[in-house]
Amino acid sequence: MQRRRFLKYLAGSGLGLTMPLLGTQSFAAEPQRFFVLVNAGGGWDPTYFIDPKGNRARLDGRGPVNNYSVNAITAAGNIRFPSSYPTDIDPPDANSPGHFANFFPRHANRLLVINGIDTQTNNHDAGSRYVWSGKIEEGYPSIGALAAASVAPTEPLAFISNGGYDNTASLVAPARIGEGDVFQLLAHPNAGRPWEDGDDKSPYFPDPIYAEIERARQARLDRLINSATLPLQRQQLNELVMARVGDNNLNRLVSRLPDDISSGLEGQAEVAVAAFDSGIAVCANMHMGGFDTHGNHDQNHANRLDQLLSGIDHLWNQIEANNLADKVTVIVGSDFGRTPFYNDGRGKDHWNVTSLMAMGAGVRGNRVIGGTDDHVEALKINPTSLAVDPGGITLTPEHIHVALRQMAGVTPSLNSQFGISESFVNLFA
Amino acid sequence: MDTYGFGRILRLVALGLLITVSQYAAAGKSTVENGYLYVPRVDVENYGALELVFRVVFDSEYRFLLESAESASETTENSGVYDSSSNSISLDEVEVVEGGRTYSVEIEQLAHETELLFGIVAATEITAPGTTPGNTQSNPGPQQPASASSTLFNQQCASCHGGDGAGTAIAPSLIACASCSSYSTLLNTIANTMPLGQPDACDADCSAALAQYIQTTINSSNEAVVADTVGFIELLGNGVTLRKASEQLLSRLPTLDEFRLVAADGNAGLRQAIDQMMEEEAFYRRLSEIFNDYLLTDKYHSRNGSEAAISLLSSDDFPSRRWFDPGKDNRDDNYSTVRRQTNDGIAREPLALINHVVKNDLPFTEILTADYMMMTPMSARSFGVSGIPFTNPNDANEFRPGRLEGIPHAGILTSPMFLNRYPTTSTNRNRGRARVVFDLFLDTDILAIEGVRPGNAVDITTPIPTINNPQCSKCHSVLDPVASVFQNWDYKGRYRPSREKKGGWYTDMEPRGFNGQVMPLAGNVDSSVRWLAHEIAADPKFPRAVTRIIVNGLTGKEPLQAPTGDDATQAEMDAYTAERSLLNDLQASFVADNYNLKTLVREIMMSPYWRAAGISDANGLPIHQNTGSSYLLSPEQLDRKILSLFGFDWRNSLDQYYKDHNKSWASKLERTFHQIYGGIDSDSVTTRLKSPNGLMGAMQLRMANELACYAVPHDFWLPEDQRRLFLYVDKEVNPYDEQGNLDSAAVARIRQNIRFLHEYILGEPLALESSEVSITLDLYMTVLNQGRQYLLNNAGEWWAVRLPSMCDRTKDFNGVDLKDVNGQDLSLQKDNQFVIRAWMAVVAYLLADYRFLYG
């Protein structure tokens, strides 16, 4: 049961009509382009790190945008960032890879920062949906799902989701990862002791007999599909078939996982990269929450950003260790931004203007596109030169996604089905 | 009017829409268009000639909110007269642009904390197609001919619901609408609430005429659509329906008595059987899951932290919240258990209230209006409540009603768990809570109102954007009154009346209210959530919201949404109309039976959509793309199904079962694979996976193989009268006799057992000679033959005849060594003829099947 069988199901079921991803090329080889979408859940504050403003007082009397010193703003290459934190908080460990002073000098050359993106919302659900699908309306798939559906929809982990916006519009089934050690169990469903070698795996059935069982199971699904007259039931049966297409490929992942998978964002990165390396995944959502800092913003946001950037640093280490730097694109974003002033609880509320970071394959680094004014209103850019231009356009997630889709090789039919009306701006290359 | 005065309004930034309506300026005619009333000129003492713009508040009451007042040109004709003694404005001509009708209207300022808000005092139509000037809009009478009713509809309803009743951006479709389930429901809704905010404008006769018109004209084809649509559905038989019901509600097989009941009384028996099922405790476990998928209050269950719920209780309010802790040095062995039980008693309070209401046949509205909360013997001690007559003071699962002194309970809405699950901040001001209330209890997605925002989403230039910026107020005028209702409950879910707080509640926010109605302060100031609960309970959207939750619980998907957009097909519209009409009928039954939830559950299960087995004609396929109630069983349901079928749940080898079978959290579907298989933790993972992915597919296969390994030897090991799987064979029954010839009698018994397994495991009643039974028999024979060859090839090898070690039965569930039971070896490790392994193959085949994995 691999490609031929799968295509047969689609032809017979009509599912191909809703799965416009079945160019033969998709099945000719393992995927060669991968995407990691890192979600800072809750709405991050770009002014705290990649769109720094500092503690200059606002002219309207609302106080400063940030509490760290304007003089702390520095740059690594073209990437501006504050080299230190507000003085009244406990800053991250100076040796932490997520400390600004460590992260940006190390990654600036590969880092693209896009500032001044108008999400047009201050609602978490709508913002998350807009940032990761390119449409504020409901029902649009994440760019990760589109990429997975365009490249390798039948791989068992085509779209790994650790949370965040993982709507797939039924193009692919998102896979949630539990504890890392279960991959052994799932990669060898007929083995009583999958972690052992050879015969010591203690199969429940001798291999030839298990092959008979598998054949019988698949033939039974065939019969049920052919006899089902309820479209919903037929669709469910086809989904079941698809879920089992790649069951023999999980062992490739197992062989590439670290012995001890880390916790948190680091662990998500390890599984994602191992899945890419084994060719069974195309996209992974990495997710951490805690950015919705309505209170005690400076301390809480510093902690979260340290974890986030440490996780990205670890992700990049994994990517490089597996020689995937020219194949993996990393996009880091959040629901929206935070107010360019503090509320009474030393917190910051929701703000529609946000930023995005990108690095890796297809991304020309050491660049900052777009910007915001002193009050963090989005500045327009020239769509050709990408320079700030009052007569230009305001960047929205739609522009980001038109460019992302092109980079991800999203098929024309999927592009049409989930259309975005904005024209292409060459943001990444 | 001078309390806030025109002077304040004059300072507001003029709205862009003034330009769009300026064509009417010279004539002085007022216009209603795009949700705004534009008045070109009214003279006001001390302010001169003013050009006024009102926002029309359609969502609750028909009101006019003054948004802008600019100096008008002296050359513009007067649009009406302002009477300073009554703060009213008489407008000579108000044209409703959509529909082209013109009225003379008198509006009067209403008492309001922060707004310049006007209500309609009188409105008289002065021009309309087919009518003569001066014809009033009321009292058309129920017996009016259709054309008169049509005119009345256009006058009263069309501006919001559209001329064809199909809905607009500001009001829902009237086709199979929430109140359209019956003439009387619709009549009551119109008479009491329509036009929104101005029900007096449509008296009893007018309401009757409109109800009749909406039922007989707009919804005239509904019955035909339903009949056509349902006509394509082939129904499950009563027996299969019974099994499906018992599996879904109770995760068990039907009893013999239930089968007899259905066999004897058909649908009536089926209804009775379902009713009886809803008396069992297992039903309430499932009910809690169904509602927790929406409430998500299990975030605070002890699975997510031993004191996840306890820690939410304020130690100031509940000083004995940790009553079970005698101090670190004095804790006994029970400490952890009692702590967990106490926590879960608190965490499960909202779900327990739902169960209590349903179990006792109380109106389901009581989940919001209950003036009590549910407590266990343990949680009551944490709450500091005594005197509750518990049957067993040590039973952590016994929930009974209790009250907190001085707290105005309002069911779930004031539950500490609900309020903490949906917390607020000083800037959010309970809007998050209000959004959830609309979503869960009124089936209204507030976010859907906003659409695409054309400008900046965060407006810091307008003084009160949620009120004064129409892009914001479109949503906030609906949301914020409900948010304000929660003002007596703080961000931690503690009861802290706002009037006792310094500064009170925010003045730059809509006052407390619902559906456009401002909450009467008398008697409600400190108990406004209770007022809201009763308002919601009386709202026709409440039964619709409950139906949505139950439909999702029983079918794995929510009811269809009304198709929108120009590309909606007729099939999509018919599918919606048919399903919605049927659900309206079920909702009506639910309401008519005093909001008894059991009635709703039962009637959904009896409906053709739930019992759909197939479509009889290809012509019916387009309208039945989503018909059917099968869904991928949740890990919890699959877990219970396994326990029900086999008598054990999926853990490790049964030889190890004695070690942890009394522990919670030892089942693989509850632990190792719970999240992978699409389960939720109600915290960071809150939506279930409905379609299997590659990992889930692999898990299904592993589960099937493991369970076959455990269940088959175990069943053969059991005494004959305790077996569940092998009623027609034992492990000695071999299709070949000693000479190697086929034994037809043995084969017949094997076939019979296979037929039984199809029914037992898959719920698939088959004829003995059916092709499916034959195919499974073929698998059995193929495996057995290969196994016999395997044994021949490895003759004399001990490992060839023994079962895989994980499948052994060498210890019973109590850990007794079966190799030596009073000197007897009762263990089962060998499979000399490969018979057991052939049956394992059959069971592994069946357990990976669609009919096992989907409910």
What pLDDT score does A214 carry?
A: 96
Task: For residue B181, give both structure tokens.
Answer: 């389930």
pLDDT tens by residue, A231-280: 999 999 999 998 887 555 777 787 788 877 788 899 899 999 999 998 88
Give me the residues of A, 142-161, that contact B with CB < 8 A: 155-158
What is the Cα Rg of chain B in Å? Answer: 33
Distances (CA, A) of B371 to B297, B385, B409, B410, B414: 20, 15, 5, 6, 10
What pLDDT score does B5 carry?
A: 35
Give me the residues of A, 45-74, that contact B with CB < 8 A: none
Low-confidence ranges of chain B (pLDDT < 70): 1-27, 34-35, 58-62, 97-100, 113-114, 127-147, 166-172, 181, 196-198, 447-463, 467-468, 470-471, 473-474, 565-566, 664-665
Tell me the whole-structure pTM to 2 decimals. Answer: 0.75
Task: For residue B482, give both structure tokens.
Answer: 């409900």
Q: Which of A1, A160, A230, A416 to mutate to test the interface with B (most CBs of B within 10 A)?
A: A230
Low-confidence ranges of chain A (pLDDT < 50): 1-28
Cα nearest neighbour of B692 on chain A: A243
Q: Which residues pair with B110 in a beta bridge?
A: none
CA distance B60 to B541: 14
CA distance A396 to B650: 49
- B844 contact residues in A (CB cutoff 8 A): 204-205, 213
> By three-state DSSP, how is residue A365 classified?
coil
Residue B833 one-letter amino acid: Q
Q: Do A157 and B684 touch (CB under 8 A)?
A: no
What pLDDT score does B565 carry?
A: 65
CA distance B774 to B771: 5
Among B378, B372, B369, B382, residue whose Cα is nearest residue B398: B378
B217 DSSP assignment = I
What pLDDT score does A74 carry?
A: 97
Q: What is the dihedral of CA A150, A156, A162, A163, to 10 degrees?
A: 60
Q: Do A231 and B625 touch (CB under 8 A)?
A: yes
Containing B45, the helix (H) or strand (E) segment is: none
Angle at A119 between CA A116 and CA A125, to 5 degrees: 145
Q: Do A230 and B614 touch (CB under 8 A)?
A: yes
Q: Which of B452, B560, B567, B691 to mutate to test the interface with A (most CBs of A within 10 A)?
A: B691
CA distance B835 to B7: 94
Distances (CA, A) of B770 to A118, A218, A233, B225, B640: 63, 19, 22, 38, 30
What pLDDT score does A26 carry?
A: 35
Cα nearest neighbour of B668 on chain A: A182
Q: Do B709 and A192 touch (CB under 8 A)?
A: yes
A229, A347, A352 ranked by CB distance to B458: nearest: A352
Q: Do B691 and A216 touch (CB under 8 A)?
A: no
ipTM of the complex as predicted:
0.78
> Closest approach of chain B CAs to the CA of A418, in angstroms?
14
Q: Do A182 and B689 touch (CB under 8 A)?
A: no
Distances (CA, A) of B305 to B302, B308, B336, B668: 5, 5, 12, 20
CA distance A169 to A175: 14
A297 inside 8 A of chain B by CB:
no
Distances (CA, A) of A368 to A79, A327, A387, A425, B452: 6, 22, 10, 15, 28
- B698 contact residues in A (CB cutoff 8 A): 156, 186-187, 189, 244, 247, 250
A203 inside 8 A of chain B by CB:
yes
Angle at B557 between CA B686 and CA A41, to 5 degrees: 25
Q: Do A204 and B632 touch (CB under 8 A)?
A: no
> Closest approach of chain B CAs to the CA of A407, in angstroms?
25
Cα nearest neighbour of A163 on chain B: B685
- A121 contact residues in B (CB cutoff 8 A): 453, 457
Contact A108, A363 (CB under 8 A): no
